[in-house]
Structure 1
Amino acid sequence: MSIKMNGLDSGQRRDSRAVEAEAQAMLGGQTAAPPSAPGGRRDTDYYASMPITDETACGIGCFRGPLLQRLANKKAFVILYGVLGCIFSACYSYLNGTITTIEKRFRISSKTTGIIMVGNDISVLFITILLSYYAGRGHRPRWVALGIYTVVVFCLMNALPHLLYGPGEDALLLTKEYGSKSNMSVSAFEKENRRTLCQSEAGDVDCSNGSMAPAVILFIAQLISGVGGSLYFTLGVSYMDDNIKKSKTPALISFSYFLRMLGPAIGYSLASFCLKIYVSPSLHPTITTSDPRWLGAWWLGWLVLAAMLFVAASFLALFPKTLPRAAARRALAMERLKNGETGADLKLDSDMPTSFKDLIVTFKRVMRNKTLTCNNLASIFYFMGYTPYWIFLPKYIETMYKQSASFASLITGTVGLVFSAVGILVSGVVITRLKPSARCMAAWNVLVGVISILGITSYIFLGCPANDNHLDIMANGELELAMTCNADCHCDYVKYSPVCAPNHRTYISPCHAGCRDKLRLKNDTKMYTNCSCVPVLPDDTVESFFSNNTSSRPESPPMFGSVVAGPCPIDCSTQFYMFLAVCCIIKFSSATGRVSNFLVSVRCVDEKDKPVAIAIGMTLVSLFSFIPSPILYGYLIDRTCLIWGKTCTGTGNCWLYNGESLRYILNVTSAVFVTIGTIFDGGVWFYVKDLKVFDNDEEETKKADKEKSSKM
């Protein structure tokens, strides 16, 4: 997938008065260039002779000095900006990695999860253009740091529901401290049996009370994080491009992307680590991580991420408004212009006057650009197509290939994203060395889209037959729950507690299997007996079943069938590794298009409009892609649900999905959106035929060679 940055065709030329005024403003009010500077003087001479002004000084208040000033360079900024982006992206990947656990803990549907996820995009929609316009003319590093501080608040608010509501009653009952018979009263033990076993008479309905308060807290946290995200992406990118030579931009931008791409790996790995810890770390669970009822410590990682973000943002705020070497280059360009030299290139200073009228003019100028229009439309459809593989990929792996939540997060964050990071580095090096034309880079993005379409289409055929066939699914796609053998068991509000029968058939609870008694074997394994829905099999089959699932079997087998706690093991490893291989190919190819797409976008935008152009692109993508797509895919995923966790007020989270239906609906929808995005990428290829990406640097190099030869 190509990450779309947005641009504007720059046909306007500023007159010499405006250029001179901007350069003088950049120099902190100086009205002339350094005296007796010859026209051929190079950047290094200017850098050595220019005084440190408030604009180029590194630090805040009393935190200044020569030691900090040494860090006021492009390499230090790119590294720190990349590290900050790494932690920032780790936050969202951590949320994606723990989202299924959050759904189970607070009984939230996937559609509700999708609504929560769009909170940050809603705030981006309303504030990005205004913030990028006014903050883009100010001290951009400090504005970015301020935005990251709001992300720190976002992290702390995500951990807040656990502090307010605790691990939950269901999680406590699955621990030795609260769930064992020795620690329960007789009435509590009988109540627990009624929750799981077949009962001849309907008793009082024991349903869970769902609450929307945790979902509201998570949604508000997302709203707050949108402020930080909009400031980070719009101002940080424009600050880098304005303070770095264009010949060095591809390599440094790709390195920054590379650091940022490590973030999802860190976030998913952190999620995997935390989910292996029980939701209440001080207790001892009676189930393992492979049990679908397992709840990991989803809240723990937010505290770590908040601390890391706070430290990194504080360092970023120390950078100057303009890097000293960039200031020297602008002063040199101003002097060349005053001396009547051609080929002088002067970047726009960000300290231009701001007004609402000028914002409207800038907005109209940006929206009339054909390249930008095609690029934004391609972005919208690309992101619509890729959303399920960002937000719901761990859920997809858990559902389709029966992997644990911790393992799904680990795989999502390491293997595939390593290929993405390598793809970004390779593309940056290739573009820096070969300097391809804008049309060549746009054509590569079209090819990347085609590869993605083929890969996503192949997902449709990478199912797991063992997973699809281990339940009794009727022709209409629903699970057959009500059978003659359990018609009188009153299982409507029985919690999802899967059990495995000797015939390798999984029942969603002992009640649905018609079980009336419960035993606890020597190895602490729960066994349910007298199950009217489980056929009595030959002794050798039963013996093999018990030897594989328990360390002992009951001394006197009951007359009806028996089951053990936990779903039947399913081997989907072959299909899973094939899926993983295709996923890695898609991630590598799509990552190679990020740097080229960024360069094409920012080079066709007038530099004074760059922050606004990027902000408009983010706003449009948020409005038409990031906001509707999580809700759309959450709705589609919920449509494939087989088992809903019921609450007193309605339905809660989904415990079991129809894998075959999910595979078709999700991947076909995604492939259609990516196909449309690739078509609009073809439009970008058509309109960038006259765009120059490296022209200014080539002119500067030719001029330097000419000056050097004239001196000889």
Structure 2
Amino acid sequence: MAPNNDNGNNIGNSSVEERTQDETASLTRDTQGRRRASDVLSKELEEEVLGPVEDTLCGLGSLKGGFLQQLAHPGTYLVISSVVALVQGMFFTYSNATLSTIEKRFRLPSKVSGFVTTGNDVIQLLLSIHITFVAGRGHRPRWLALGMFCAALGCLLAVIPHIVFGAGDLPIQPLTAGQSVTRDSLLCQARNSSDTSCEQGKKAIGVEQATVVTLHLMAQMLAGFASMLYYTVGYSYLDEAVSKKKVPLFLAVSGSLRILGPVCGYSLAGWSLSYWVDPASPPDIPPRHPSWIGAWWIGYLVIGSALLVITWSLLLLPRMLPGARRRVLHTLRNAAMKGKDSLYEVIKTLRPAKRTKGQGGIWSSVRRILTNKIYMLIIANQVLFWFAFFGYITFKPKYLEHQFKMSAAKANQYIAGAAMAATLVGWLGTGSALTFFRPRAKVVIIFMAALSLTNCILHLCMVNISCDHSTIHGMDMVIQIGDEAPTRGVIVESTKNDSCSSGCDCSPKFSPVCVDGMKNFYNPCFAGCTSSSKRNGTKVYEDCKCAVDTLMPSYTTAQKSDTGEKVLDKVEPSVKDGYCQHDCPTFYMYLALTVLTKMTHAASRVPVNLILFRCVEERDKDVGLGVFNAAIAMGASIPAPIIFGWAIDYSCRLWENSCGQQGFCWLYDLDSYRSILHGIPAALMACCLLTEIFLLTQHKKIHFYGEEEEENSDKISSADATAEETTALNSEAC
């Protein structure tokens, strides 16, 4: 037995010795590779490619490093960038939410207001490629700070029209308690004298319109400059701040925090529009009245102040985060171990630390990008997606006001509530799934196609959801006469149906009144009202003959005369400003579909961003995002509001006219409006589905998580650490 044990021990010792020899050989090879990497990748070359180590220090000027260096962490940038996106989102959603109010105040048609919203995208179309190329090779956080300062300046420009022109003409003059008015342009009265100041009024309106369009267009351009920088160099800075495996989760968290921007924007708009445009002198009409003009300018002051605060926080961030520098350095060392040629092949794909002289670098990047099949397919897909989104979201608040007879403030509150929960689920759900389950590109693209199909079906369902609305008495007469005499009063002839208001010189101004919550009239004149007064803080109209006649016998009671005979005595109905309130049960169905639509929109954002990040080389990432923004601006966000606005104007039934000059739309053909607003997005989402089917054929070329690169990076770190330990032990032995 002893010899056998000796043989076993010999075999065991032999295997241990072989393992030791293998480990020693491996360490020797690693050490040699590390030395070879040091020879190929010198300190000077490191600084030339990555920049000096001082670029990773936080602070400004002489105040760098120290306690400020604690800010040099991906989590810090995640928070700051999320706040940046939040406030930017507030600006654009607030602009959309107050658009119908600005139309009303300055008498703008939808196609003109839609043109104003394109300022954001015009700047991206003109400057996106060049600015992102320069900013991507510069100090990206400071470029972002410049963008935020420009957006704050844009908020100030947006407020200037209110500062210069004030509240404008009040639709109804405020009354004191108990005061009665018999001379009012909206009351039934004898023929009004002609307006001799019409030419002056037309010139004043023209000056106001030109000013507000110019200043708001400039404000949108400045905000667009900030948005362009955030969605290009800001995104690339976030992508390199963490490892590729964690990028989906970071995008999900950033997107989830970013959705608070639209929510806060709509909430801020709802609060601002609940106040009269001149809070010091509100009229005697409720916010639901079509003539109500909210304080649209207040929110711009709030957003501008927040943007100035954010500017300072961005100035403190380093040019490159320390963790990002370490990861790139590991990649370079791994390539250097394979030789000089391999190293320079990797260096060519990286973002240079210094700005490239001349513009040749831009066009080389653009050429590589435009020949990338995956990139071009995702561009086509997103142009269709954003065309549908921008057109829909721009005119949705106005649709809710007209279709469901809501005030602008209430409409924005509903949109804010629907957006928050749905978008949270969409962003966090897809981001978490991509991070923890890591589905392959094929599965992700199929998921995107399913979302497009669902979105198409949801929009088609919303086309069929409507409310029944009561007739507005007098409106047909105004529409019939309006084209012939838009600046004159409407003389109501004595006929069987409208003899109650015969002889009234009714103003064509739309200011609906409600009779006891049952019937709407075009304005007090068409209801035959001859006076008004204020009771219990509410303006009421009196002596409204038509209101009684159209509701007989509801407003008659039997009385006895002096001779003892029964006669009918008319009871004065309640006539107040605004539409009659009515319940619309289908609104909650529409709200539910809106929530699902928001969820599908949000769920597709993380996969699209990942494809954009991964389908181009590192050196082309900033320019790739710049080209993407320019394409979206040219193909979607510029034409969409204009085309949607033109189509929606086509469905208008009643235009506001001042001195013969057409302004904004008072009333729409709601069936046409509903079909346009939801039918166009449904068709575009069907086209999105086709592009995703083509994208599916390229799925093998898309690598979301970069596993090979990450594993190689981890191996390099382990090899470096082991080699250093071995060298230290050898030194001690000597």
TM-score strictly above 0.5: yes
Does residue 1:407 correspond to 2:449, yes or no?
A: no
Kindly state the Cα deviation for residue 522 of structure 1 after the two structures are TM-superposed.
Answer: 5.9
1:640 aligned residue (646, 651, 670): 651
* Stretch of structure 1 that moved more, 373-382 or 525-534: 525-534
Does residue 1:198 correspond to 2:198, yes or no?
A: no
Partner of 2:632: 621
* Stretch of structure 1 that moved more, 122-131 or 421-430: 421-430
Amino acid corresponding to residue 426 of structure 2 in structure 1: G
Amino acid corresponding to residue 327 of structure 1 in structure 2: R
Q: Aligned with 2:518: secondary structure?
A: coil
Q: Aligned with 1:535: secondary structure?
A: helix
* Stretch of structure 1 that moved more, 661-670 or 339-348: 339-348
* Stretch of structure 1 that moved more, 561-570 or 404-413: 561-570
Judged with a 3 Å threshold, the aligned counterparts in structure 2 of structure 1 residues 181 and 494 are, in CA distance, closer, same or farther, namely farther
Judged with a 3 Å threshold, the aligned counterparts in structure 2 of structure 1 residues 336 and 542 are, in CA distance, closer, same or farther, namely farther
Does residue 1:279 correspond to 2:277, yes or no?
A: yes
Partner of 1:167: 167
Judged with a 3 Å threshold, the aligned counterparts in structure 2 of structure 1 residues 113 and 21 are, in CA distance, closer, same or farther, namely farther
1:296 aligned residue (294, 297, 301): 294
Partner of 1:565: 577
Kindly state the Cα deviation for residue 168 of structure 1 after the two structures are TM-superposed.
Answer: 1.7
Judged with a 3 Å threshold, the aligned counterparts in structure 2 of structure 1 residues 529 and 424 are, in CA distance, closer, same or farther, namely same
Alignment of 1:70-109 (within 5 A): 70-109=70-109
Partner of 1:348: 350
Q: Distance in 1 between matches of 2:108 and 2:114?
A: 10
Partner of 1:497: 511
Judged with a 3 Å threshold, the aligned counterparts in structure 2 of structure 1 residues 146 and 521 are, in CA distance, closer, same or farther, namely closer
Q: Aligned with 1:693: secondary structure?
A: coil
Kindly state the Cα deviation for residue 618 of structure 1 after the two structures are TM-superposed.
Answer: 0.9
Judged with a 3 Å threshold, the aligned counterparts in structure 2 of structure 1 residues 356 and 423 are, in CA distance, closer, same or farther, namely same
Amino acid corresponding to residue 351 of structure 1 in structure 2: A
Partner of 2:596: 585
Partner of 1:126: 126
Q: Distance in 1 between matches of 2:410 and 2:130?
A: 42
**2:459–2:678 contact (8 Å) kept in structure 1:** yes
Q: Aligned with 1:160: secondary structure?
A: helix
The superposition leaves residues 343-391 of structure 1 with CA deviations (integer Å, 9 ceiling, x where unpaired) of 9987723425242122122111111111121111111111121223321
Q: Aligned with 1:652: secondary structure?
A: strand
Kindly state the Cα deviation for residue 19 of structure 1 after the two structures are TM-superposed.
Answer: 11
Q: Distance in 1 between matches of 2:318 and 2:580?
A: 60
**1:531–1:561 contact (8 Å) kept in structure 2:** no
Partner of 2:34: none
Partner of 1:506: 520
Partner of 1:366: 369
**2:285–2:539 contact (8 Å) kept in structure 1:** no
1:398 aligned residue (383, 398, 401): 401
Kindly state the Cα deviation for residue 341 of structure 1 after the two structures are TM-superposed.
Answer: 8.4
Q: Aligned with 2:92: secondary structure?
A: helix
Amino acid corresponding to residue 251 of structure 2 in structure 1: I
Q: Distance in 2 between matches of 1:68 and 1:501?
A: 67
Judged with a 3 Å threshold, the aligned counterparts in structure 2 of structure 1 residues 576 and 478 are, in CA distance, closer, same or farther, namely farther
Q: Distance in 2 between matches of 1:559 and 1:643?
A: 33
The superposition leaves residues 545-575 of structure 1 with CA deviations (integer Å, 9 ceiling, x where unpaired) of xxxxxxxxxxx97799884332221212x21
Judged with a 3 Å threshold, the aligned counterparts in structure 2 of structure 1 residues 245 and 518 are, in CA distance, closer, same or farther, namely same
Alignment of 1:264-343 (within 5 A): 264-340=262-338
Judged with a 3 Å threshold, the aligned counterparts in structure 2 of structure 1 residues 59 and 487 are, in CA distance, closer, same or farther, namely farther
Amino acid corresponding to residue 496 of structure 1 in structure 2: F
* Stretch of structure 1 that moved more, 683-692 or 147-156: 683-692
Q: In proportion to residue count, which structure has more helix?
A: 2
Partner of 2:58: 58
Kindly state the Cα deviation for residue 287 of structure 1 after the two structures are TM-superposed.
Answer: 2.0
Greater relative CO, 1 or 2 (CA 8 Å, sep 6+): 1
* Stretch of structure 1 that moved more, 230-239 or 204-213: 204-213
1:223 aligned residue (205, 221, 246): 221
2:689 aligned residue (678, 701, 706): 678
The superposition leaves residues 628-662 of structure 1 with CA deviations (integer Å, 9 ceiling, x where unpaired) of 11011111222222222211251112222222221
Q: Distance in 1 between matches of 2:435 and 2:480?
A: 55
Q: Distance in 1 between matches of 2:598 and 2:314?
A: 30
Judged with a 3 Å threshold, the aligned counterparts in structure 2 of structure 1 residues 241 and 524 are, in CA distance, closer, same or farther, namely closer
Kindly state the Cα deviation for residue 236 of structure 1 after the two structures are TM-superposed.
Answer: 0.3
Q: Distance in 2 between matches of 1:612 and 1:596?
A: 20
Q: Distance in 2 between matches of 1:581 and 1:646?
A: 37
Kindly state the Cα deviation for residue 431 of structure 1 after the two structures are TM-superposed.
Answer: 0.6
Question: RMSD across aligned C-alpha pairs, in angstroms?
Answer: 3.3
Amino acid corresponding to residue 434 of structure 2 in structure 1: I
Kindly state the Cα deviation for residue 505 of structure 1 after the two structures are TM-superposed.
Answer: 2.7
Judged with a 3 Å threshold, the aligned counterparts in structure 2 of structure 1 residues 72 and 357 are, in CA distance, closer, same or farther, namely same
Kindly state the Cα deviation for residue 605 of structure 1 after the two structures are TM-superposed.
Answer: 0.6
* Stretch of structure 1 that moved more, 276-285 or 509-518: 509-518
Kindly state the Cα deviation for residue 20 of structure 1 after the two structures are TM-superposed.
Answer: 9.3
TM-score (ref. length: structure 1): 0.84
1:25 aligned residue (48, 53, 61): 48
Q: Distance in 2 between matches of 1:558 and 1:362?
A: 82
Judged with a 3 Å threshold, the aligned counterparts in structure 2 of structure 1 residues 557 and 413 are, in CA distance, closer, same or farther, namely farther
1:609 aligned residue (616, 620, 635): 620
Does residue 1:455 correspond to 2:463, yes or no?
A: no
Judged with a 3 Å threshold, the aligned counterparts in structure 2 of structure 1 residues 63 and 655 are, in CA distance, closer, same or farther, namely farther
Amino acid corresponding to residue 578 of structure 1 in structure 2: M
Amino acid corresponding to residue 119 of structure 1 in structure 2: G
* Stretch of structure 1 that moved more, 382-391 or 145-154: 382-391
Partner of 2:18: none
Kindly state the Cα deviation for residue 71 of structure 1 after the two structures are TM-superposed.
Answer: 0.7
Kindly state the Cα deviation for residue 436 of structure 1 after the two structures are TM-superposed.
Answer: 1.2
Judged with a 3 Å threshold, the aligned counterparts in structure 2 of structure 1 residues 479 and 634 are, in CA distance, closer, same or farther, namely farther
Judged with a 3 Å threshold, the aligned counterparts in structure 2 of structure 1 residues 67 and 114 are, in CA distance, closer, same or farther, namely same
Q: Distance in 2 between matches of 1:472 and 1:364?
A: 63
Q: Distance in 1 between matches of 2:455 and 2:316?
A: 41
Judged with a 3 Å threshold, the aligned counterparts in structure 2 of structure 1 residues 20 and 435 are, in CA distance, closer, same or farther, namely farther
Amino acid corresponding to residue 264 of structure 1 in structure 2: P
Q: Aligned with 2:653: secondary structure?
A: strand
User: How many residue pairs get matched?
Assistant: 649
Kindly state the Cα deviation for residue 417 of structure 1 after the two structures are TM-superposed.
Answer: 2.8
Judged with a 3 Å threshold, the aligned counterparts in structure 2 of structure 1 residues 558 and 138 are, in CA distance, closer, same or farther, namely same
Q: Distance in 2 between matches of 1:620 and 1:440?
A: 27
**2:286–2:577 contact (8 Å) kept in structure 1:** no
Amino acid corresponding to residue 367 of structure 1 in structure 2: L
Partner of 1:537: 551
**1:78–1:252 contact (8 Å) kept in structure 2:** yes
**Unmatched 5+ stretches in structure 1:** 1-15, 30-52, 544-555
Kindly state the Cα deviation for residue 246 of structure 1 after the two structures are TM-superposed.
Answer: 0.4
Amino acid corresponding to residue 225 of structure 1 in structure 2: A
Judged with a 3 Å threshold, the aligned counterparts in structure 2 of structure 1 residues 200 and 451 are, in CA distance, closer, same or farther, namely same
Q: Distance in 1 between matches of 2:717 and 2:352?
A: 31
Kindly state the Cα deviation for residue 589 of structure 1 after the two structures are TM-superposed.
Answer: 2.4
Kindly state the Cα deviation for residue 259 of structure 1 after the two structures are TM-superposed.
Answer: 1.3
Judged with a 3 Å threshold, the aligned counterparts in structure 2 of structure 1 residues 56 and 521 are, in CA distance, closer, same or farther, namely closer
Q: Distance in 1 between matches of 2:472 and 2:509?
A: 20
Judged with a 3 Å threshold, the aligned counterparts in structure 2 of structure 1 residues 415 and 264 are, in CA distance, closer, same or farther, namely same
Amino acid corresponding to residue 390 of structure 2 in structure 1: T
**1:271–1:301 contact (8 Å) kept in structure 2:** yes
Judged with a 3 Å threshold, the aligned counterparts in structure 2 of structure 1 residues 20 and 237 are, in CA distance, closer, same or farther, namely farther
Q: Distance in 2 between matches of 1:560 and 1:258?
A: 56
Kindly state the Cα deviation for residue 18 of structure 1 after the two structures are TM-superposed.
Answer: 10
Does residue 1:445 correspond to 2:445, yes or no?
A: no
Q: Distance in 2 between matches of 1:469 and 1:649?
A: 26
TM-score (ref. length: structure 2): 0.81
Kindly state the Cα deviation for residue 149 of structure 1 after the two structures are TM-superposed.
Answer: 0.8
Q: Percent identity?
A: 28
Q: Distance in 1 between matches of 2:160 and 2:661?
A: 25
Partner of 1:700: 712
**Bigger Cα Rg:** 2
